[in-house]
Amino acid sequence: MRIGRVLTPVLLAALLALSACGGGSSGGVDDGTELSDLSKANTTTPSCPFTAQQVSDIIGQPMTDEGTCLFGDGKGVASLTVTTASELAGGATFDYQKEQAGKTYAKVVDLDQGDRGYLAVKDIQAEAVVVSSKGSYTLIMSSFSFDEAKYDSVLRKLLGVVFG
């Protein structure tokens, strides 16, 4: 993707600038990840890991392919959006995403998939973010009329497809 080719060098330059001010750390990354670790990260953006049929089977209702890794119920209500990025891009934004999830969702828990991940749920929406050497994945489910436990279960099943 052309945007990924443009953003990756920009993100790397920003990380380098932050590290110059922060004595060797990546600035915004507070989990001990050093800039040298991020500079070794994979810069390849993975393709969409799902088909509409896979999503339908896992979610338990018919879903249609509505674009680049966007699946909808055909009624304009429920949706699953999957955004993929490189390991480098995902690693650079992970802490911020998780911080924002903590402000938006009722529950945020760490995941054991990939190198870093979390799952966040509330009454009408859920989000899972995983950063791995395969790439970074953000899954957002909205308006399925699920309870928090069902959102949690479905997102974990979807991530199982990605990380086997």
pTM: 0.76
CA pair distance 164, 159, nearest whole angstrom: 8
Among 140, 111, 137, 113, smallest CA distance to 42 is for 137
pLDDT at 22 over 70: no
Mean pLDDT of the chain: 83
The model's confidence at residue 40, banded by pLDDT at 50, 70 and 90, is: confident
Residues 14, 55: Cα–Cα separation, whole Å: 36
- Cα separation, 159 vs 130, whole angstroms: 9
- Ranking 1-15, 52-66, 107-121, 136-150 by mean pLDDT, the lowest is 1-15
